[in-house]
Structure 1
Amino acid sequence: MESYGKGDIFTRRIAIKTLNAWEPFTDCVSILFSFQHLDVVDGEDELPEWRIFWVAGLTLLRTIGHVLDKVDKPLSTKHAEVISRNWMRIKTDRQQNRIFWDFVEDGRNNLLKTYSWGTSLVKDEHGYFVEYKSGDDAFQLFREAVYWWRHQLEKIESEITEQTT
């Protein structure tokens, strides 16, 4: 996992928290907590519990960006400038932001537009886990995406604050 700031996602206090996008982010943190404390069953259940969290989690990860664009960006000229500049950076540097493009955007689109989960239940010597189509642990990718979004939101908050002071 790439490093997107220091501190545990559950305990580190966020200094500036004015954006509306923090609301869906907070829900993503709650889902991450659930993933970390969830026993993945052996696949005999028709709809295992993790799948409900998966749908909600992928949707909310993408919702953060939509709230930034539709709710936070119109708040002021400064908000619009900073959010637009950061979104352009995310768009132009897809390699640096691959967790967004290859997991958040792709995963959400596949799930909501074609109901393709992009995951499979796999059993190894430690038990069952959910594998993403890339071969990575799906819950670990979700964790990385949550950290990535925290980093993005803190960067945007910092830039807005710098411009207003």
Structure 2
Amino acid sequence: MSEVSLARDQLRATLPLYDAMSATFSMLRSDYSIDWRHNLIVALTTLRATGHVLHKIDVQRFPELRAVVEGKYKRWKQGSGDDELFKYFINDSRNQLLKTYQFNTSDDLAFEQEEIDSGDIDVVTEGHFKGSDVVGLLQHSATWWMKELDEIATHIDAQPTTNNLVAHQ
């Protein structure tokens, strides 16, 4: 395990991220069903929770991260380049889900299932990522978060201010 991933694992924000990754993996193994929808809910909400935990918990545990996290959050909200995942998928999809309970599945018009040579995939049918594979976007979002958390973790100077190191189960 690299030094960067060890530092990243000190961040509590890795816990919701790992839950999002687990839910996404479960979606790969299931057909579109209530379980698929539940995993979509978990994946979208925990991807966004990663940022909230980083901003609300990790900057208290590691005060030296505050300026870095606030600067990155401003950049993420602008949605340029790879940060479009945060603005237009992680943030907007989570908000749509929690505020309107339209979580973009085929039955409420924003995701639909398409037949591809290798099987059916669920695609976004409206918005910034129209035509994109939903599970692929979730996977790409998790990878984006890992990169962001790795960059942030390089700024950790010492042990956290509390004894709440992340325990992986």
TM-score range, shorter chain: 0.7 to 0.9
Match of 1:61 in 2: 47
Q: 1:91 aligns with which of 47, 65, 77?
A: 77
Cα 1:73–1:136 change in 2 (3 A) is: same
Matched, 1:128 2:120: yes
In 2, the alpha carbon distance for the partners of 1:74 and 1:107 equals 27
Q: 1:145 aligns with which of 141, 146, 161?
A: 141
User: Is there any run of 5+ residues in structure 1 with no aligned partner, and where?
Assistant: 1-12, 42-46
In 2, the alpha carbon distance for the partners of 1:145 and 1:119 equals 17
In 1, the alpha carbon distance for the partners of 2:16 and 2:77 equals 21
Counterparts of 1:41-60 in structure 2 under 5 Å?
A: 41=32, 47-60=33-46
TM-score (normalizing by structure 1):
0.77
Cα 1:93–1:125 change in 2 (3 A) is: closer
With a CA cutoff of 8 Å and minimum separation of 6, indicate the structure with the bigger relative contact order: 1
In 1, the alpha carbon distance for the partners of 2:138 and 2:47 equals 9
C-alpha deviation, 1:76, in angstroms:
4.2
Matched, 1:15 2:6: yes
C-alpha deviation, 1:93, in angstroms:
5.2
- RMSD over equivalenced CA pairs, Å: 2.1
C-alpha deviation, 1:92, in angstroms:
4.0
SS state of the match for residue 40, structure 1?
coil
Retained in 2: the 8 A contact 1:21–1:68? Answer: yes
TM-score (normalizing by structure 2):
0.76
Matched, 1:27 2:19: yes
Q: 2:60 aligns with which of 44, 56, 74?
A: 74
User: Is there any run of 5+ residues in structure 2 with no aligned partner, and where?
Assistant: 105-109, 159-169
143-152 or 85-94: bigger deviation: 85-94
Aligned residue pair count: 144
In percent, how many aligned pairs have the same letter? 28
